[in-house]
Amino acid sequence: MGEQLTPAVGKSTACPMCGADIPCDDRFATWCTACDWNVDPGGEEPARSRFEATQRRLAHRYGEQLHAELLAGPDAASAKGDRSGALARAVALAVHGVTATLAVGGVLLMVLGRNSILQCALGIILLVTAVVLRPRFHRLPDTAQVLLRADAPRLYELVDDVASAVGTRGVDIVVVDGDCNAFVTTYGIKGRRALHIGLGLWEALDPQERVALLGHELGHYANGDLRHGFFIGTALSSLNHWLYFLTPAHSLHRHRTIPEIATDALMAVPRWGVYGIALLLEGLTLRSSQRSEYLADRAAARVASTAAAAALMDRLLIGDAIRSALRTESVRAQTRIGGAAPRAAADGLWERIARRAATVSEREYERRRRVSALRGHSVDSTHPPTHLRRHLIETGEPAEAAVVVGPEAAAAIAAEMAAVRATIARHVIRDLAG
């Protein structure tokens, strides 16, 4: 998805491995369909941490297991999920219990030992620790671009129609940003629902693929993903905070002192304990999360059609290319390559991204599908491999669309989003160059 939009026509070369004739397109990697030569020229990015590497292995393992079980029937996958869910709730209860114990212990020490400076000081330390490590409600960023129902009635009407079709209710707000992603979440004490739409992905989709995207995201509410629940979700968040505070910050520019080394040694035991609990809860909830992803994909197929849901899986495979194109647009504007200026570059940004996505050839999609199968590629380390998700969508009788977006509705929604699209385009051009 580079700058060049017109493919080189009629060019070909011989495969150095098997000698087969290979069509060449300067925009994409040259590879051989016969022997898979150069099918994955970049290779997989290494995991950023031991925790992420473990997540990837678990995601791949559970993804394959659940794929086989769901092919046999949804009930086969739900029985194991019920046992894992019960254990996950027990672990989450223990995590929250630690925080509650610290808070209660701190208050008791302060009340019962009010005549002892040492006890009061210890009580204050325990109470402050409990406050720092407390479960946190998800909050919207102050800079979030929010579309309220009054701002975008046709968009909310579409969301409501899709939600009804998958068996849940709609959302309270829609948040729009420039990422190549989409997700749902709950925020605040009342657990209000928010749909996050990344324009990098949204603008690369046709109207029916957008219905599939909405069907998938809203399907998470209907399928009861453990990670989206408050009780377990906040326990995972708390464990991440614990790890952050227990992990020492080392400087590369100076040697550690003796007290620092001693402190690190003392913190090692609780840190590894928390790490082990985090891995346990990760493993117990990952299966439920992946099952929810598969069921959300099926919801997308029921609402938007099998063809639209499968096409959405292909669009997810070019997410890295879309992000690269957005960064390129920002760098060109900030450095004024080719005379580009930031204000002018923001105009028409999403139309250019949509055109680039539309020029990705079927041959390139096939290459990326094969790479997905080779790597066990997923959208992130908590999702099942994308090629397995696509296969499960296409298994069985093709579904027709339950919700259809016509040209008039698509145009109305685009008009409602015009102002926020322009604002986010300016942010992308300003910020992504680094």
Q: pLDDT for 131-167, tens place per residue?
A: 888 877 777 877 789 999 999 999 999 999 999 999 9
Residues 387 and 369: their CA atoms lie apart, in Å, by 6
The DSSP line for 85-145 is: HHHHHHHHHHHHHHHHHHHHHHHHHHHHTTT-HHHHHHHHHHHHHHHHTS-------TT-E
182, β-bridge pairs? 197
85-89, 241-245, 257-261, 401-405 — most confident range: 401-405
Q: Select the more confidently predicted residue: 434 or 369.
A: 369
- Write down the pLDDT at residue 3: 43
- Write down the pLDDT at residue 256: 72
Rg (CA), the chain: 25
- Bridge pairing between strands 173-177 and 192-198: parallel
If we measure between CA atoms, which residue out of 217, 244, 234 comes closest to residue 281? 234
Task: Answer whether 0.85 is exceeded by the pTM.
Answer: no
- Write down the pLDDT at residue 80: 53
pLDDT > 90 in the chain, percent: 45
Residues 352 and 350: their CA atoms lie apart, in Å, by 5
pLDDT > 70 in the chain, percent: 89
| Structural contact between residues 304 and 403, judged by C-beta atoms closer than 8 angstroms | yes
Buried (b) or exposed (e) across 105-128, using 16+ Cβ within 10 A? bbeebbeeeeeeeebbebbeebbe
- Write down the pLDDT at residue 18: 93
Tens digit of each residue's pLDDT (9 = 90 or more) over 233-288:
888 888 888 888 887 766 555 677 777 777 777 888 888 888 889 888 887 888 77
Tens digit of each residue's pLDDT (9 = 90 or more) over 174-226:
999 999 999 998 887 777 899 999 999 999 999 999 999 999 999 988 876 66
- Write down the pLDDT at residue 204: 95
Tell me the one-letter amino acid at 215: G
79-88, 181-190, 316-325 — most confident range: 316-325
Average pLDDT over all residues of the chain: 85
If we measure between CA atoms, which residue out of 99, 101, 123, 128 comes closest to residue 110? 123
pLDDT at 2 over 60: no
Degrees, nearest 5: CA angle 305-310-314: 145
The DSSP element (H or E) to which 21 belongs, if any, is strand 21-23
Alpha helices in 133-229 (DSSP H): 153-166, 199-202, 207-223
Contacts of residue 326, Cβ cutoff 8 Å, sequence gap at least 6: 178, 180, 200, 349, 353, 428, 432
- Write down the pLDDT at residue 343: 75
- Write down the pLDDT at residue 19: 92
The one-character DSSP state at 44 is P
